[in-house]
Structures are given as C-alpha cells and as structure tokens.
Structure 1
Amino acid sequence: MPEVMFAGPDGRLEGRYHHSSESNAPLALVLHPHPMHGGTMNNRITYNMYRTFEKLGFSVMRFNFRGVGRSQGRYDGGFGEISDAAAALDWMQMVNPNSGGLWIAGYSFGAFVGMQLLMRRPEISGWVSVAPPANHYDFGFLAPCPCGGLLLHGDSDEMVPEPAVRKLVDKLNTQKNVTVDYRVYAGADHVFATHAEHVSEAVEDYVGKIVARKAMALAAD
C-alpha cells in the first residue's frame, strides 16, 4: 500500500493508496474518525474497510485529514475536511480515468464527511457509513439522498445512541429509490472494540453483491 502525497485545499495531504490491476476497477475512498479525538487513517475500522475494498478489487485510498499525521493545515470543523475528501477523490479520478464506479466509506466523523461529499459528487454510486454521529450533526442535508447504501451501528454505542441513527435510517428509507441496508450489532460500542470483523464482513457482503450484480449486467449486454 504505497504512500501518496497529493495537493489539498490547505496544503499537501498524506494518504495510502492501493491501485487495482484492473484498468476499469471501481474506486473507494475511506474516511477516518474525528481528528480532535485521535482519529487517523490508521484507525482500525478505517484500515479494515480499506483492506476489504482492496480485497474486492477496488482501487482504494485512505488519507489523513488536514492537520493529522503528515497532512498539512489545521482542523476546520468539518467544512475544510469535506474539501480534503473532495481533493482525494479528484486525485483518484485523475489516476483512474476509466474507473467503473465510485464508493465513499466513512467511520464516525468520517461518515458525516462522506455523506456530505455524497451530496456534492453525483458520480458517487454507493456508500458505507459506520457509526454516523447522528446526534452530533444534522443529517437533514440528505434530502433527497442520491442513492442507497450500507449503514452499520452498535446497540451499545455510548457516544451515538442507536435510536438517533435508526431515526435517520427511517427517514432515508422513505425517500424514493433509496434503500438503506441497516445492520445493528448487539453489544457493539462506538469503536466496535470486539466487533471489528463484523464491519469487514458486512462491507464485503454488501459491496461484493452489488459489484457482482453490476458485472453480470455488463456481461449480459
């Protein structure tokens, strides 16, 4: 997983990037938890999702938001971090001009940034959100949400109560052509301390099935 440095809106950003051997492979960007609470691209859940997308044949990147690790700049309350993620997508799309689809995946704060990016980039075709902070941020901007996705949460999350996330899911599922696959894990806390493997398994299951269906449809044409 080679290290990459690319231009961000507030200085250079540090990432890790895996390039698929397939020229038209789909792309995935994985976003880490809150920079002010120790979140980095090496976070376990972030890393596990990165490796799962790699296993599924994606070209995939995880990177440090501004001010984290070797990334330049300073924390910007979420606004600048959305721009950082957009710059990461720009870099991947430049390197992969023939990519077959684009996914955004985020954990905690990264899930909030990812969903913001989803509303700004119509080429995003799928998403994964793990423990989105639905009680800390207003997710009302997801109206209308452009596509369905996978949402994972723990019923013992001490930072984001599960009912707050279920309320968000129920609202999204009322929207036309949007279906959220919501999976709640009994006993899982916010960091998925003893449930990290379930995140990887869910991403592999959900994303893998969609990628397989798309491949079958293309083969049939």
Structure 2
Amino acid sequence: MNAQTERQLIAGPAGALECAIDRPTAAPVGLAVICHPHPQHGGTLDNKVAQTLARAALALGWRSVRFNFRGVGASQGGWDEGRGEIDDALAVIAAHRAPGEALLLAGFSFGGFVAASAAARLPEGEKPQRLALVGPSTQKQQVPPVPADTVVIHGEADDVVPLSATLEWARPQSLPVIVFPGTGHFFHGQLGLLKNTLVRQLQMAAA
C-alpha cells in the first residue's frame, strides 16, 4: 500500500499465507483484518477496494492486515470454494491478534462473505468489535446474518452483485445499506468517497 507496508508469511491451514501489514503512527486501537475479492476472478490483497478498506482502518488508528487467500500470490494451497478461505481468515486473525485485542473485520465482494462468515465462527468473547462489508457477495454465497451495527456499502449500478441481492439479504435483519448512486462493483472514481464514508461510519459505530 505504501513504502511502510510490511510483507510477511504466516502459517495457514493449507500452507503459508502472505500478509501485508500497515501500522498507525501511534499505538493501534486494535487489529483490522481485510479480506480481498474472489481469487478466481483476479482478487488479491492489492485490490483497490481492499486497499481503501485498509486505509480507512489505518486512518482510525487500527493496525491493518490484508492477506492473500490460499493459492493467491505467495500464499500456498488452492481454491476451496469459500470453505478453506474462511479458515484462512481465522488463521490470520489468530496469528496477528493479541489476547483481548479489539478486532475490525472487513471485506470486499467475496471477501465480504468471508469476513461475515469468519465473524460468525469466532467464539463469544472473541467476536469483532466492528464489521464492514463493501459490495458483499450476497447472490452467489450464503452470507450469514451480521450484527446490527455492521457497515454495509453497495453500488447502485453493481453488475457483479446486484444491489437487489444485498437488499434481500439485509431486509430480514432490518440492516441499513448505504447505496452509492450510479456506482459499479469496483467503485471506480469513488474510492476517495468510499474511504471517507467508511471512516465516518466506523467512527459513528465507535461512538
């Protein structure tokens, strides 16, 4: 993400997992783990929306960790249809989270499904304090219910995950969805607004 980004490998359930770590200048308020979009459609930890999620977390003082799912970049293993990818996210959390440390889980597209699923699988007492999902993959994946204060952002003109699919997922939960008018799946030309909206919404959640 910048010259200060630290790259490292950690042990994962299917082999080494590649991580990119960005640290705030002051003592971090907690750990943010960012999940990238679909590995079979070019998704990596360097995806622009994943980087925007990391920048928003960093601006709020979180230590940010993006990682490549198994089989992507320097991460070992191969595509596991979402099951193993959730295990990868949980392994990254376990490797980087200090005991009792606050956790922000975030993801874009397929990564939103993984982030929500990982949050659901964490035991009580270890749940994330914050959850942020951008363009979550609500049509092709079974995204579990999420906490009421989850930040959900979706593009009105998303041609990968229809806005209607995310609204249908959110409706039974009475979960608000922030809609960017006229915006497609990858938030082209809207990354600055996306970052500012994430910062504002996550600040509100923390209040």
1:6-155 equivalent positions in 2, closer than 5 A: 6-20=10-24, 22-23=26-27, 25-93=29-97, 96-97=98-99, 99=101, 101-121=102-122, 122=124, 123-139=127-143, 141-142=144-145, 145-155=146-156
- 2:139–2:161 Cα contact (<8 Å) kept: yes
One-letter amino acid of the structure 2 residue matched with residue 70 of structure 1: A
What TM-score results when the alignment is normalised by the length of structure 1? 0.85
Tell me how large the CA RMSD over aligned residues is: 1.6
Deviations 1:107-154 (A, max 9, x none): 000000011011111421211111112111223x32xx3452110111
Match of 1:188, SS state, is coil
- Deviations along 1:174-194, whole A, 9 cap, x unmatched? xxxxxx442101111111112
Equivalents in 1 of 2:113, 2:28: separation in Å? Answer: 28
Q: Distance in 1 between matches of 2:65 and 2:148?
A: 21
Is residue 108–residue 135 contact of structure 2 (8 Å, CA) maintained in 1? yes
Corresponding residue number in structure 1 for 2:186:
191
Q: Residues of 2 paired with 1:118 and 1:98: CA distance? A: 15
Distance 2:93 2:142 in 1: 24
> Counterpart in 1 of 2:203?
208
8 Å Cα contact 1:24-1:98 kept in structure 2: no
Q: Answer whether contact 1:4 1:16 (CA < 8 A) is retained.
A: yes
Q: Given the two structures, how large is their TM-score scaled by the length of structure 2?
A: 0.90
| 1:55, distance to aligned residue in structure 2 (A) | 1.3
User: What SS does structure 2 have at the residue aligned with 1:199?
Assistant: helix
> How many Å separate the matches in 2 of 1:18 and 1:97?
20
The answer to whether the 8 Å contact 1:125/1:147 transfers is: no
Q: Segments of 4+ in structure 1 off by > 3 A? A: 19-24
Aligned length, in residue pairs: 200
Bigger drift between 130-139 and 30-39 goes to 130-139
Alpha-carbon contact 2:149-2:205 (below 8 Å) kept: no
Q: CA deviation at 1:81?
A: 0.3
Look at both structures and tell me which one has the larger radius of gyration over its CA atoms: 1
What runs of 5+ residues in structure 1 fail to find an aligned partner? 174-179, 214-221
SS at match of 1:67: coil
- TM-aligned CA deviation for residue 19 of structure 1: 3.3
CA contact (8 A) 1:29 1:61 kept: yes
